[in-house]
Amino acid sequence: MKYDGIFFDSGGTIYGFSGEASEDPSHSQVAARMAERAYAALSWLGIATTEQIVADHITELNQLARTSPPGYTEETLVRSVFERLGEEPRNDHIVYVTGVVSGPRFRSWLFPGVAETLSALSTAGIYMGIIANTHVPGWVMDRNFRGVEVGQHFQERIYSGDEAVEKPDPRIFRIAEDRAQMAGKRLIYMGDRVDKDVAGAEAAGWDSILFRSTESSSDGRATYEIDDWAELPAILT
């Protein structure tokens, strides 16, 4: 093996979000119905409100989230909605509503070759994990990876919302090294953004792969650049 382990970004690297080749809703369609899902979940709990009130709160809170620290997640948002509605933020209610609000992820959103490549790399025995910048709580991210049938391949999963640190800060890569007990090993990171993924790996002393789904070039910063998941095994093995 050329590398002892690889960690991946999530959105833009594993998920393409389009769902264009299937009848599944797209990522933008799922996101657009967040308030509708929140209202349905709150109503099921017997909380009296209106969909418009919930939508207004969520719109404002999502705007505030753009400047919030890395530890902000959808669970934070839901807790804030409960508080704004004057409801006791019971943890069991918060967890239930957060799971509904976050919405589904669909297997059709995976980039072509993701499932097959991950399966081949697992068979080859390479260590794999996730490092993702996300407002989605880690337990929901894990649920989603399980739902699209790739979660079994990732031994360690590091999410910025859980750790309150995000890429390109090298500390999130150090957390991954420590949890995986792979400090000093030959590690590589694959993501779709130069400013977050390539730069973060570089700062941590890792090699990097730019998956060119959103950016056409790293201008030489990435160790490798690929356009298709099928190219990955040749780099790692």
Quick one: pLDDT at residue 70?
87
Rg over alpha carbons for the chain, rounded to the nearest Å, is: 19
Query: Residue 178 — pLDDT band, cuts 50, 70, 90?
Result: very high
Angle formed at CA 46 by CA 42 and CA 50, multiple of 5 degrees: 55
List, for residues 191-236, the tens digit of each pLDDT value.
999 999 999 999 999 999 999 999 999 999 999 999 999 999 999 9
State the Cα–Cα distance between residues 145 and 155, nearest whole angstrom: 12
Q: Which residues neighbour 178 within 8 Å (Cβ) at sequence distance 6 or greater?
A: none
Using the predicted structure, report yes or no on whether residue 84 has a pLDDT greater than 70: yes
Query: Model confidence over 31-50: pLDDT tens digits?
Result: 999 999 999 999 999 999 99
Out of 3.40.50.1000, 3.40.640.10, 3.40.50.300, 3.40.50.800, the CATH code matching 5-17+108-236 is: 3.40.50.1000
Q: How confident is the model at residue 74, as a pLDDT? A: 97
Q: What is the mean pLDDT of the chain?
A: 96
pLDDT band at 82 (very low <50, low <70, confident <90, very high): very high
Return the pLDDT at 45: 98
Question: Are 5 and 127 in contact, with CB atoms under 8 Å apart?
Answer: yes
Asked if residues 190 and 111 have their Cβ atoms less than 8 Å apart, the reply is: no
The domain spans of the chain are 5-17+108-236, 27-102
Among candidate residues 181, 202, 223, 225, the one with its CA nearest the CA of residue 5? 181
Strand order in the sheet with 127-132: 156-159, 127-132, 5-8, 187-191, 207-211, 224-226
Structure tokens belonging to residue 156 = 């360690």
pLDDT at 19: 56
Asked whether residue 2 carries a pLDDT value surpassing 70, the answer given is: yes
